[in-house]
Structures are given as C-alpha cells and as structure tokens.
Structure 1
Amino acid sequence: MQVSQVSLASIEGVLAAFAPRGVTSLAAASRSLSLSLDGAAPRGAAPLATLDFALIGAYFLVIVAIVLWSSRRVNDTADYFLAGRHIGWFVVGASLFASNVGSEHIVGLAGNGATSGLAMAHWELHAWVMIVLAWVFVPFYYRSGVFTMPEFLERRFNARVRWVLSIVSLVAYVFTKVAVTVYAGALVFRSLLPDTFGSPDNAFWVGAIATVVLTGVYTVFGGLRAVVYTEVAQTFLLLLGSAVITSFGLEALGGWGELKTLARNNAADFALWRPLSDPQFPWLGVLIASPVIGIWYWCTDQYIIQRTLAAKDLTNARRGAIFGGFLKLWPVFIFLVPGLIGWALHRKGLMVIPNRPGGGGLDGDMVFPTLVTTLLPTGLRGLVVAGLVSALMSSLASLFNSCATLFTVDIYEKLRPKSSERKRVQVGRIATVVVVTFGLVWIPVMHKMAGGGLYQYLQGVQAYLAPPIATVFLLGLFFPRVNTRGAFWGLVLGFCVGMGKLTLEAIHSTSPFAQGSWWAFAATFSFLYFSGVLLVLSAAIVIGLSLTAPAQPLEAITGLTFGSRTAADRAAVRASWSAADLVGTAVVLGLVVAMYLYFSFWLG
C-alpha cells in the first residue's frame, strides 16, 4: 500500500493540469468578470436570459456559414460521403471525438456518475482501442479504397455478407443511436425551457423535433464535409462548456479534495472496480464486455470509421485516430466527474436533483441539466447550452451521413449500378430524410423505454449488437481461412441471438416472467457476461462453419488480411508512419495507464 500511495502522489501530480483541479481557475477567472456564484451555495434554477440566447444564436450562425461553404463544394459521391478524401489529421481526430460524444454522452455519463460512480469510466478509457484502430484496422480500410464497412466485408467475403451488415447497421442506428441521442437532448430542453412552450413536455418535443430537423437539413445539403468541419468547432465548444461546468461545480463543492472525501465515505458505490457480487458492474463482466463493445464501435462501425476514410492519406488517417484517442481521455473529467459533483452537491444540500418518476432514487439523467440551471451565471449558461446543442447536432449529423452512405453505397448502387453521380447524391439526401423521420417516429417508444439510466441502457443494447460484428472483422483480418459461409452465418445467427436477448428484456420490463423461471433468468442475465457468451458463440460459428467449406483463393483476399499482404503493402504501411506517430501513441497509452492507476486507488 505504501508503494501505491507514492505512485498515486506522482500520478496525481501528472494529472494536475489534466484533472478537474486544473480547470478550477475558470471559476476564479469568471469572478473577475463579476460572474460570481453568490457565495458558497449555488443559486436556484434560472431560465435562459437574453445574453444566453444571443450566444446560442451566434453559434447557429457559425454553423449556417460552415454549411453554406461546404455545400458549394459537393460535386459527387466522394465529396458528399467522404468529403472528397481531403481531410487532415487534426480534423479527423476532432471529428472522431465529436461523433462519439453526443448529448446522450453528456447527459447519460453525468447521470451514471451520480448514481454509479466511476463504474462506466471503463468505456471512457477506450483511448487504447483507438490506438488499435490506428495501427491495426486503418491500414486495411484505407488501402482498400472502400466507402463503407459493409463494402470492405464484400471484398473480404462476398455480397451477401455486405447486405447483412448494411441492414443490421441501419436498423441499429435508427432504433438506438438516433432515438437515444435525441431523447437525451430533449431532456435538456425540457429542463432549460420548461415553460417556454407551455409545459415541460411540450419543450421536450419541440426541442427534439427542431434539433433533428435542423441537423438533418445541414447534413442533407453539406454532406460529410459540413459534418466534419462543424464538428471541429463543436468539439472545442463542447470541451470548454463541460470544463466550465466541472470548474463551477468543484468551486461550489469546495474542491477536488472535498469530492474525494464524500466519495470515499461511499466507496462501495463509487469505486472504479466492483466486486464479482455486484449486480450491475462486476469487474470481470466489465473486463469482458467493455473491450468487445469498444472494438466494434471504434474499429468496425461505419458511424466512426467514415472519418478515417475521409483522410487525405494513410498517414493522416492514422494520426487522426491517435489524436482522437488523446481527446477521448477527457470525458471522464468533463462528463463523468460532473455527475459525481452533482451527487455531492445534492448530498450536502447545495443542489436538488429530482427523483425518478415513481421512486427509485435520483434521476441521474437530470443531473447535468440541473447543474447548468443552478450553478452557472448568465452568459456561461448560454455557452454550455450551446455546447450541449452542438454535441446533439454533431452526433446526429454523423449518424445521418453514415446512414445515407450505407444506404446509397451498399444498397442503392447494387440495385441501380448505372445511376449517375448526381442521382446517388440525391438518393443519399433522401435517405437522410428517411432516417430523420424514423428517428422522430421512434422517440415516443424510446421515451417509455428509457426509464433507467440512459447511458447504461445504451451500452446494454450495444453489448447485444457488438460481439458478432467484432468477431467477423477480427477473425476476417487475422485468419485467411475464415470464409464466406462462416462470416455470413456468424453475423446472422449472432444478430438473432442478441436481438432475442433484447426482446426478452423488453418483455420482462413490462410484463415480468415468473420468478425463478428460465425466461426470467435469460431476461435478467447480465449484459456484461452475455456479451462475452455471445462473442464466444459467434466465434465458434464463424470458425466452425468456415471449416466446412473450402478456403477462399489467396488471390481473392490479397491485401485484406495480415497473412495475405504483399511486400508492397507492407512497404506502404511502413512509409506512412514516423517517430511522431510512435510518440503520440506512447503518450496516449501512458495517460490511459496513469488514469487507471489513479482512479483504481483514489478512494483508498
């Protein structure tokens, strides 16, 4: 323990500029501008003022200008779907981060921080997975010249596998990502503008519809170029706004030390590692499920990978992923820690967080909106709201463009191979409108289903989608013997099993099965452990069925697996990186290790 304490002291020093203590100066600086917290206790909930609306309006004017500039340069499918493949590493990395961090991230992570402590931090320490993306997956994707991940699977296997992944991805996007992101954003509108449209429920729906429509419009007309460049602006606004919340929260609470003291008194609920007996986040389940979800999301999902495919060359694609990994380290401090701060302020009587309807403890999804309305002064409140709106719009824009790309490239071009470039861009825009419509239609259902923690719900759904897809990509890259039969049935059967588990959960949540029955056991089986079971099952199907069919000819998969790379392929990869890439990688991995060590013992 003595060694651990010495290590913690050194790590805490390294993190001083990176952890929330490093941003507390923001609150002090704001006091020089007469933006005080009115003493030790935070103010009561306050509506948005004229200055707040002015800042939000200025942000939207910037977005409109970017979209108008981008739309004038959209000429063909490469421009619309991959921004002409002219994006540099800085924009790629910022876009990766902004695509990942949506309103469901901000609202959901803060909620989990208040109700579950650091249990969900494992998902936010996935910077190491982005390093895997940079060095393992990106070289294959970029050299193949594909537009989509299903297209890559067609080259590796055949068209049937491509169709399966396209359909699975579109269904998953519409019924999880769109609905969850909009729902989280609408919660913010309901909290910030409760009486503007007559009632909080009206504010919820007006905010949801207006944001979706506006985002859909700029995505339709600007394509990926508009998406990635608006995401650069949104990334820094989001980082600044969230840092302001963290700073003011710590200022009101009494500092990082006070937060640690309160959390230490409730260590069982706020620890990074939970015992195996924990019903929600047993450490073994987290170690199994978190990497599986991370590999699927960061290394195989069109929603994310499209940014690296838009890079100007392999060097910029890799460096963008490494830079994105550095940015990915921030959410623990600026999204999850504010939830801990909200819980601590509530515990000390300095802020009131509402309970969930019908009881069940604090409504975690209302923590971040409550922090905004009770802590921040006029002006800064508008800045943070603009950050929240930017997160919502950037995630939706990324999703809309990815869905349009999947539909146009993987479905429409197969049905209409002789269609013109102009027609394909038009179809992509129509597909975006369709996705927007489906997302709006699904929101009422999502509104009823998201009674629990929003972020935990999202990770649960992804745990049922990720294993078969991650399995097919990993085995497909590392084992040339894996063939079409194994990949096709691994995807189909794995998807069916995962959706079966999700269906049982949905039924059980509304009409519980008999206690002690097999159905009740299956419905309540931990999503963390189930993810591992499904991974093993999917791998067994892929490998087993691949062995029942002949191997693919080596010339058909040349350059698409590690074992089939040519000398030219290896030389091209070697020429694409330098010492700077190695240093960046080492920095990111070192920070991940430091953060794991610090938060593993921070309550000791």
Structure 2
Amino acid sequence: MKGLDVLDWVVISAYFVILLGVAWWVIRQKQKNTEDYFLAGRNIGWFMVGASIFASNIGSEHVVGLAGNGAGDKMPLLIYELHAWIVLMLGWVFLPFYARSGVFTMPEFLEKRFDARSRWVLSIVSLIAYILTKVSVTIYAGGVVVSALLGIPFWIGAVATVALTGLYTILGGMRAVVYTETIQAIVLVLGAGILSFMGLEAVGGWGALKATIGVDYFNMWRPNSDPDYPWLPLFLTSTIVGIWYWCTDQVIVQRVLTAKSIKAGRRGSIFGALLKLMPVFLFLIPGVVALGLKLQGKLDWNSPDEAFPVLMSNLLPSGLRGLVAAGLLAALMSSLASVFNSCSTLFTLDIYKKLKPEKPEEELVKTGRTATFFVVGLGLLWIPVITRLSDGLYEYLQNVQAYISPPITAVFLLGIFYKRINANGAIATLIGGLIIGFSKLTLEIMKSSFSEGSFLFNLADVNWLVFAAYFFALCVAIAVIVSMFYPAPSAAQLSGLTFGTVTATQKADNKLSYTIWDIVASVLVVFIVLYIMISFSTLSL
C-alpha cells in the first residue's frame, strides 16, 4: 500500500475540522430533556433521517468486508445489500405503529403491545449484543483500518477514533449523531463512487471485467444443494435478519423516530432505501475490480479484505486518496456513534428509568451521557479479546445475527399483524428463542471437540442459513401455540398497535402522510432490487 502524502492529510484534516465544527455547533444547543437528547427533539427532516439510516448501517468493517466478498467469491452474500425493499417496510409498515405509540425504544414498544417482561428481555439482550459485537468489532476493524491508512499503531488509531466519536456523542446526543452522519454519508458516497469509476476505467470497463473474471463469477444464486449458500435458505434467512435489523433494531429505528412527522420518517426511510442500493456499486464492485486487476497482473494483494484499501492506495491520485480515506474514517465514526447513542438510550430509558421512575429529565440526560461513556469503555476493554479471537470471531459474525434475529422478528411481526398473540406467547418466544439460538452458536464454537458423526456434531454442522429458516418457523409456532393457552389481549391494550385495531381516524391520518411520489419512489426501489437480483444471476436455480 502507498502511504498518504501532504495533500491527502490536508483533505483528511479539512474533513475533521468540518465534522468537529458541526458537532460543536450542536453541542452548544441546550438539551435538557430526554426527547431532545435521545431523539433530537423529534424534529429531523427526511433528508437527514435517510442519510443517518445509511451512515448507521455502513461501518469500516462493512466497507472492507463487502469489497472482500466481491474479491473472494462470496457473491451470494450480496443479498444482504439488497435489503432496500425491507427498509421500505420500516417506513410503510412499522413506522405508523411506532409513531402512534409514542415510544423512544423498541423494548418500550414491546411493553405497550405485550408487557414489561418482554421489554426487560429485549433491552438486556440488545445491550449485551451491541457491546460484544457491534461496538467491539467496529472498534477493532476501525483500529485496523486507521492504522493501515495513517501508518500509526493499532491501539493509537482505535483509541483516538473511539475517543473522538464518543466525545461528540456524549456531549451532543442524537442531534450531533444525525448531523455528523449526514456529512459522513456524503463523504463516503463521494469517495467510494470515485474509486468505483476509476477502478472500472483501469480494468478496461464492465465488459473487460466480466471477460477477465468470467460471467459465472457474478452469479449470486447457487443451487439448494450448495453446502454454503443454498439459494432458498439464503433468501429466507436474509429476509428474517433484514426485518430484525431494519425494522426492529434500536440503532436503525431510532433514526426514523427522530423525524418531525410520520411523513418525514417515511420519506427518510424511502431515501435511506435508495441509498442502501449504493453499497453494491460503491463497495462490492471495487472488490471485484481489485480481483480483475490482480488477474490482469496490475495489482497485488494477499487477502480479499485487503482489496479495497490496496485498490484505493494504488489507483487514486493524491488528494482523492485522502478523500476516500476520510470516507472510511467517516464510516467507522458514524456506525460507532449510532451504536453508542442507541446503547445509552436503551440503558437510560428501558433500564434506569424503570428502576428510578421519579428521576427528572435533566438527570436522565446525565445518565445517558454516563452510559455512553461506559459503553465506550467496555468496547475498548473487549478489544484484547477481539485481537486474540479475531479469526474465529469474524468467521462466526455472519451467523450470529441469524441466531439472534428469528425470535425478535417473529414477536414483532406477529405482534403487529396478529392481534391474538399475547404477552405469554411473546415472552416464551423471546426466552425460548434466546436459549435455542445461543445453544446452536455454542455448539458451532465447540464443534471440533465432538466426535464426527455424533448427534451434537451433526447438529453443530447444520448450515446456519438452513437452521435459521427452521428456527424462525419454530419461533412463530411457539408464539401462536403458547398464546392460545391464555386469554386474548384486551381491545384497550391493542388499540392502534396492531393492524386489526387501527381506527378510521388513524387510517385517515396515515393516508395524509404520503403522496403519489412517495409510492412512485418506493416502486422504483423495488424494481431496482429485482433488476440487480436478475443481473447477478444465471437463472439456474
């Protein structure tokens, strides 16, 4: 990799000056209540909501990893980047129920729909999952990227980036996160877009790239007999994980809850869906380009995860290299800030406020800042474990979500679409699903210690995509069967929280929250997703 020169450093410095300037402007605005600190006063416009959704999703490990998938013959995983249609579901299906309930967090919604037990379980599971996966992994991957780009030791890069991100998140709250994420999304799209264009030009164009690599390489749909990525379980499991991540996870949903109206939130989700189509072209294609250049003898790298940084450092001229480096730093900081703020929101409103309901608003804001500080600390403390387990951890990260998401997805979908599901059905699904999911993950980790051919070995060896699809069906069955043994929820409890209980007035209000252009934009997103799915296919299912 080529190092950064003076002009690159000037560009990176300018990026940080603008970022810190915006953060400082937000911090100077007083934030004395929880709605202002955690949801930016529910007064954010659709453009910033959409940009924030996109920036929250894209982390530095996401950028490098997706390019690595393109360079490492893992094209089926492209389907996780085609979830734009699920982002639309957030705005069209889920948001009206969340907005009508007036909640700050997803566990709080479960309490309103079911009872406090579901809120406690989801709050604790979410916090543990965030700290052990999202926070620590993003910090680790970010430290690696920063040290490689800037030529500084790993620990200095990790601690400095985390400290800066944590500082403006703690002081500025959600408003600082949303405003800075908007800038970061623009920088990331601009930088990666330039790299994709110049990469295709260097490899000789799209036709030359396909001729170099081979048309079959671009097929994302493999037969159901494929041991790694059978197409039907891949589609089903990716959809289950997608609904959990985009429609029920605090980090993403908190973005649309900051919107000043349902209309702004929905348009933000539509804009976010359009932006979500970009990673295919911004990050996956550069990985494929890097492979093409390697096969042409114009580029050299050892690991697929090196594809993006090596392509960037060797292909881009001075200044542009700094811009893309700033984009990678932006990806790291935006995803970290999102998780930091969501963790503090969950802890403060779903745990601390439940234990200390008499605390005033200013005290809760202070608690939120303190919680963010501790999340930053815990993430840093976990890094030594990550550095020892990184090879194994990255191997399991993809399927960890497949084991966490089925029970949560089942409870939210059934809770909104099927009014007969009650609190006992929900808690049985959440706790039972948690036990089953972590048991399967534990078996996978311990697989080498079992005798080959034994029951435990065979269970551990079940493909994670196949297991997750059956796991989701089991979670739905648990929720329905257990609910039937107990009385149905009362009409008062369900009012406006399920499809069957939405009043005529609420339906009329919802109709006023969108126009024909919102529908047209949404249909366009779906058509683009279908077009990409067909383009990356040999149609030999």
Shorter-chain TM-score category?
over 0.9
Which of 55, 75, 83 matches 1:98? 55
Cα shift at 1:564: 1.0
Which consecutive segments of 4 or more residues in structure 1 shift more than 6 A?
Answer: none
Report the alpha carbon displacement of residue 53 of structure 1 after superposing the two structures with TM.
1.4
| Structure 2 counterpart of 1:326 | 274
Question: Does 2:121 match 1:121?
Answer: no
Match of 1:522 among 456, 459, 462: 459
Residue identity opposite 2:66 in structure 1: L
2:306 pairs, out of 366, 370, 380, with: 366
Task: Give the counterpart of 2:170 among 220, 223, 240.
Answer: 220
Q: Structure 2 vs 1, CA of residues 444 and 190 (structure 1 numbering), >3 Å: closer, same or farther?
A: same
The amino acid that maps onto 1:412 is: Y
Aligned to 1:389: 329
- Residues 1:235 and 2:174 are matched in the alignment: no
1:502 matched to 2:441? The reply is: yes
1:50 maps to 6
Q: What is the aligned counterpart of 1:63 among 3, 19, 25?
A: 19
Distance 1:88 1:445 in 2: 40
Q: Does structure 2 conserve the Cα–Cα contact (< 8 Å) formed by 1:127 and 1:325?
A: yes
Q: Identify the residue that residue 135 of structure 2 maps to in structure 1.
A: 178
Q: Which TM-score applies when normalising by structure 1?
A: 0.87
Residues 210-245 of structure 1, C-alpha deviations (whole Å, 9 max, x = no match)? 111111111000101000111111111000111122
Q: Is the 8 A contact 1:138 1:317 kept in 2?
A: yes
**Secondary structure, counterpart of 1:116 in structure 2:** coil
Greater shift, 126-135 or 243-252, is seen at: 243-252
* Partner of residue 155 from structure 1, selected from 107, 112, 118: 112
Secondary structure at the residue paired with 2:446? helix
Q: Which residue of 1 aligns with 2:420?
A: 481
Q: Deviations over 1:100-156 (max 9, x none)?
A: 111121011011111124211111111110111111101000111100000000000
Cα deviation, residue 544, structure 1:
1.0
What fraction of aligned residue pairs are identical, expressed as a percent?
52
Say whether the 8 Å CA contact 1:486–1:546 is kept in structure 2: yes
Is the Cα–Cα contact under 8 Å of residues 51 and 185 in structure 2 kept in the other structure? Answer: yes
Describe the SS at the equivalent of 1:451: helix
CA distance in 2, matches of 1:69, 1:588: 35
| Pair 1:347–1:448, CA change in 2 (3 A) | farther
Q: What are structure 2's unaligned runs of at least 5 residues?
A: none
Question: Quick one: distance in 2 between partners of 1:346 and 1:448?
Answer: 30
Residues 294-345 of structure 1: CA deviation (Å, up to 9, x unaligned): 0000000001000110000010011110111111111111111111111122
CA contact (8 A) 1:365 1:453 kept: no
Q: Deviations over 1:512-547 (max 9, x none)?
A: 432222222222321111111210111111111111
What CA distance in whole angstroms lies between the structure 2 residues aligned with 1:365 and 1:187? 11
Which of 292, 296, 302 aligns to 1:348? It is 296
Partner amino acid for 1:140? Answer: F
The aligned residue for residue 365 of structure 2 is 425
Q: Which amino acid aligns with 2:157?
A: G
Alignment of 1:380-459 (within 5 A): 380-451=320-391, 454=394, 457-459=396-398
Measure the CA separation in 2 of the matches of 1:58 and 1:525.
50
Does 1:567 pair with 2:523? no
2:450 paired residue number: 513
CA contact (8 A) 1:180 1:458 kept: no
Q: How many angstroms apart in 2 are the aligned matches of 1:552 and 1:589?
A: 36
**For 1:342 and 1:550, how far apart are their aligned partners in 2?**
59
| TM-score normalised to structure 2 length | 0.97
1:452, distance to aligned residue in structure 2 (A): 6.3
Asked if the contact 1:94–1:324 (Cα under 8 Å) also holds between the matched residues in 2, the reply is yes
Structure 2 equivalent of residue 28 of structure 1: none
> Per-residue CA shift, 1:433-453, capped at 9, x if unaligned?
111111112223223333269
Q: Which amino acid aligns with 2:10?
A: A
With 271-280 and 321-330 compared, the bigger mean Cα shift is at 271-280
- Write out per-residue CA displacement over residues 442-481 of structure 1, whole angstroms, 9 at most, x where no aligned residue: 2232233332694x74331110111000000000001111
1:364-383 deviation digits (Å, cap 9, x = unpaired)? 22221211222222111110
Q: 8 Å contact 1:181–1:392 — kept in the other structure? A: yes
Contact map agreement 2:146 2:329 (CA 8 A) in 1: no
Residue of structure 2 in register with 1:254 after alignment: 204
Is 2:495 the counterpart of 1:555?
Answer: no
Mapped to 1, the partners of 2:393 and 2:343 lie a distance apart of 26
* 1:159-207 deviation digits (Å, cap 9, x = unpaired): 11100000111111111111222222222123224xx44xxxxx22221
The answer to whether the 8 Å contact 2:218/2:536 transfers is no
Q: AA paired with 2:247?
A: C
Aligned pair count reads 540
